[in-house]
Amino acid sequence: MSAAPQRVIIVGGGPTGMTAAHALTRAGIDFVLLEGRHEIALDAGCNLVLSSMGMRALGQLGLLPALKKVSSPVTKFQRLDHKGRDIGDTMFFTYIQQSHGYYPRVFSRYNLMQVFYDNLPAEVRSKTLANKKVSDIRSTEHGVVVECADGTSYEGCMVIGADGAYSVVRKYMRELALKDEQRANTEAFVNEEKPFLTTYRCFWIRFPVLPGLKVGDAFETHGPNMATQFFVGEDSAVVGIYERLDEPTRDPRRCTVVDEKPFVEKWGNLPLTKGTTLTIAEAYAQKMDAGFINLEEGVVKHWSWGGRMVLAGDAAHKFTPSTGAGCNEGIIDIVVLANHLRRAFSSGAPSPDKLNAAFKEYQDARYELATFGCKLAGNTTAAATWPNAIYKFLDLRVFSSKMIQKFFINQGVATTAQTPVFDYIEGEEEIVGKVPWVHAIPSRTQIV
């Protein structure tokens, strides 16, 4: 059998996979991206907030001007309880702006994905293939063969699994690790079959920007067993309603349209904003689109297998949405991974050992931060849904204090300031605040 092409196969065309497509293009590494849905940019899902960390990395890829056009800055969360009482605003976004010089920005997922797609060079766009649901992955002597449900197959030297919380790449990594007889201690490389625990489900509703709502407005409703996060975007408003399940589960129930009515009957009266009388039921009555998502949480133990497959984004770590971190962290995964891959591919097709070393350095750089981010997000969702008197007290009396908010943001800003950059893409620093970035965007002469 001849050697597999020196090509990376990216499975999944979400934000992580599309960041990888841009990053590999800039690194001069050949790739093909396989996306199971019928289009890369689909009007599916919730709004997303990208922070200075994610925006800076996408800025290095040349996407900042296009991203700014389709997003709006968010300055604060206006918070209320289930009875509509003001429980104090959180000013995290403003404090982030004061430190990094940039307000986080809210996007519809559709607009974000469209920017990713439209800004790929035309000759590269043809390497991002929709309608390619990956159904099998085989490791061969020379590389990997990825089979799709439509009968096509693709050969490469490695796979990036950017295929979300129910990753098939992770599933095949596990099967291969279980079969691998050559390793002395097979157990040490085998991931759990169901690494994520689901404590909450989310029902999201997209509806028009109704009178009384302003683009960039953000609200949260907190209270027992249910909290909302509501963003008013450029072209629509989207609320995510996070409901605590009776029991946490590793086998979350798939909810469908028949579950919507009882859900809205249960929570419909709850208010969504300060200054208007808008309720969940009224938002639902005006819906352009809606759906359920499970909010899995967890960090996968082994992010790669055999120098052939590596995970990134939600496939590797899954957070609740409350801190708006999942997509940002997936982008930074790719920054770190792409830096290592560029070095590994610099002198031709890398051996599995070379790739294995690159994957290990990548996971070592990312694992602890992902674990911390996962816990922080879970605790933030718990605080908003008041599972007990302690969380309720923290939410109402502690997190409403501007001094405490500043304290937390200062800790976060110090960590964010250390975010790595693509070390092979020159550019200007466009996001500048009073806290300097530890790793500067390189100039042409600094790139080796």
Binding site residues, ligand FAD, CB under 6 A: 11-17, 34-37, 46, 48-49, 132-134, 162-164, 168, 202, 204, 240, 293, 313-314, 321, 324-328, 330
DSSP-derived letter for residue 77 is B
For residue 353, the minimal CB distance to ligand FAD (Å) is 27
Alpha helices of 43-129 — where are they, by DSSP H? 52-60, 64-69, 92-100, 109-118, 122-125
Nearer to ligand FAD, 350 or 373 (CB): 373
For residue 206, the minimal CB distance to ligand FAD (Å) is 11
For residue 13, the minimal CB distance to ligand FAD (Å) is 5
Nearer to ligand FAD, 15 or 59 (CB): 15
For residue 279, the minimal CB distance to ligand FAD (Å) is 19
From 153, 189, 120, select the one nearest 11 (Cα to Cα): 153
Alpha carbons 111 and 118: distance in angstroms, whole number: 10
Nearer to ligand FAD, 324 or 350 (CB): 324
Nearer to ligand FAD, 14 or 306 (CB): 14
Which CA distances in Å does 382 have to 48, 230, 327, 378? 20, 17, 20, 6
Alpha carbons 19 and 113: distance in angstroms, whole number: 10
Asked whether 233 and 91 are in contact (CB, 8 A), the reply is no
Nearer to ligand FAD, 58 or 350 (CB): 58
Nearer to ligand FAD, 133 or 138 (CB): 133
Computed on alpha carbons and rounded to an integer, the radius of gyration of the chain in Å comes to 22
For residue 104, the minimal CB distance to ligand FAD (Å) is 8
Strand segments, DSSP code E, in 6-59 are 8-11, 31-34, 47-50
- Lookup: tokens for 439: 């790793």
Nearer to ligand FAD, 309 or 325 (CB): 325
For residue 19, the minimal CB distance to ligand FAD (Å) is 8
For residue 397, the minimal CB distance to ligand FAD (Å) is 26
Give the DSSP H/E element, type plus range, for residue 170. Answer: helix 168-179
Residues 267-306 as b or e (16 or more Cβ within 10 Å = b)? beebbbbeeeebbbebbbeeeeebbbbbbbbbbbebbbbb
